[in-house]
Amino acid sequence: MFENLKEQPADKILQLMQMYKEDPRDTKIDLGVGVYKDASGNTPVMRAIKAAEKQLWEAETTKAYTGLAGDPAYGDAMIKLVLGDAVARANVAAAATPGGTGAVRQGFDLIRMANPDAKVWVSDPTWPNHLSILKHMGMTKVDYRYFDSETRGVDFEGMMADLAGVAAGDVVLVHGCCHNPTGANLNMAQWGELVELLNAKGAIPMVDIAYQGFGDGLEEDAQAVRLIASKCPEVLIAASCSKNFGIYRERTGLLMTVCNDPSRQKLNQGTLNYLNRQNYSFPPDHGARLVTMVLTDDALRADWMAELEEVRLSMLGLREQLASELQRLSGSDRFGFIAQHRGMFSRLGTTPEMVEKLRADHGIYMVGDSRLNIAGLNKTTVPILAEAIIKVGI
């Protein structure tokens, strides 16, 4: 049997991580994988998470199974965090998943169950795992234009023109905020237009939100998903706690369905439970429990929000520093987009050859599509990167 297995394509982002590790240069700079790093290059455990872990260690009396959808308190807390008051709780079904990736995977599984013919429309480009999971599941994906390689903003006209081709029942996958890999995002007026188009066509939005709090703020970053949830009859939402709670390896995510007909909630919830059972039975609990504790305790929540805001502002500061450094060195505004982008990433919009040159000549590691992780920089390395960008001729 095993002889039938074939070599599968590697994850390019994880491959890059390995290359970086093996590079002996002590001047190397890692702008690859999407993990937050502070000024000294550490990915800290957030203060509130550490405090919650201590409390949990003292108070936890059992590690018996939770439920198929995870602890209901986690679902409630996360629904509130992501959706606020945009929809009634009775219209939402939710299940904890192993990370946001698990939520994406379970969401696709639900789509396939409900409508095996559904096409899933994805932004070009999107997070590579969206594509590989869809392919693995044998689902049909269609690209829609997203990135304007001239302005490095959203090609909104192209996007709407492509999405005019969606059929009723198709699913349109969008990034709720902080688009990965480009950093370019729709404004609220554009989200409004998109919602109208999807509703007119009878297409179903699926929102992947993995960076709430990394863009314009915790509430601001949820505006699009809340608009979609309040205006569209059926919505899927895959949320991740990996970044905004800094609990990457705990594997903490949530898949939600929102339906404007509350009589469907029970069936949706049952389906989410069923899908968890088929894939892994009970979802991981530790990270979810920490998130619940942080979100439901006033002091922990306030401290978490303060630290998340520090993280967000540090990335914004680095964006501004890099954009102005590049403006100074290039004598032009052509890198202004870096300060406009939001979240961890910006796509420079240069060639793989230039990206390779940055790596080979300067020890600067970014993903081949010219995505850089802003959080991999600090005040000292920003000028080094800016000089290298100009030197290689980007």
127 as an active site residue: the answer is yes
Measured between alpha carbons, how far is 321 from 336 in angstroms, rounded to an integer?
11
Phi and psi of 206, rounded to 5°? -120, 120
What six digits make up the tokens of 347? 């796509």
Measured between alpha carbons, how far is 282 from 314 in angstroms, rounded to an integer?
37
Distances (CA, A) of 99 to 209, 239, 261, 276, 387: 11, 8, 28, 13, 37
Instruction: Give the nearer residue to ligand PLP in terms of CB position, either 240 or 350.
Output: 240
Stretch that binds ligand PLP, among 96-104, 139-147, 155-163, 260-268 (CB under 6 A): 96-104
Measured between alpha carbons, how far is 376 from 1 in angstroms, rounded to an integer?
43
Residue 34 CA from chain centroid, whole number = 9
Q: How far is the CB of 211 from ligand PLP (least distance, A)?
A: 7
Measured between alpha carbons, how far is 272 from 287 in angstroms, rounded to an integer?
19
Instruction: Check 210, 222, 323, 386 and give the catalytic one.
Output: 210
210 as an active site residue: the answer is yes
DSSP H helices in 60-114: 72-83, 99-114
The entry of ligand PLP, ligand TYF, none that residue 14 binds, CB within 5 to 8 Å by partner kind: ligand TYF
127 binds ligand TYF (CB under 6 A): yes
Measured between alpha carbons, how far is 324 from 340 in angstroms, rounded to an integer?
12
Instruction: Give the nearer residue to ligand PLP in terms of CB position, either 343 or 349.
Output: 343
Instruction: Give the nearer residue to ligand TYF in terms of CB position, either 179 or 231.
Output: 179
Among 10, 11, 135, 270, binds ligand TYF (CB under 6 A): 11
33 binds ligand TYF (CB under 6 A): yes
- # binding residues, ligand PLP (CB under 6 A): 15
Residue 83 CA from chain centroid, whole number = 16
C-beta of residue 34 within 8 angstroms of C-beta of residue 344: yes
303 as an active site residue: the answer is no
Instruction: Check 127, 231, 369, 386 and give the catalytic one.
Output: 127
Among 66, 185, 240, 271, binds ligand PLP (CB under 6 A): 240
What does the DSSP 8-state code read for residue 283? P
176 binds ligand PLP (CB under 6 A): no
Q: Up-side HSE of residue 94: CA atoms within 13 Å toward CB?
A: 27
Measured between alpha carbons, how far is 285 from 211 in angstroms, rounded to an integer?
21
100 binds ligand PLP (CB under 6 A): yes
Instruction: Check 37, 119, 231, 243 and give the catalytic one.
Output: 243
127 binds ligand PLP (CB under 6 A): yes
205 binds ligand PLP (CB under 6 A): no
Residues engaged in binding ligand PLP (CB under 6 A)? 34, 99-101, 104, 127, 175, 180, 208, 210, 240, 242-243, 248, 253
Which of the residues are catalytic?
Answer: 127, 208, 210, 243
Residues at the site binding ligand TYF, with contacts judged by CB under 6 A: 11, 13-14, 33-34, 127, 129, 180
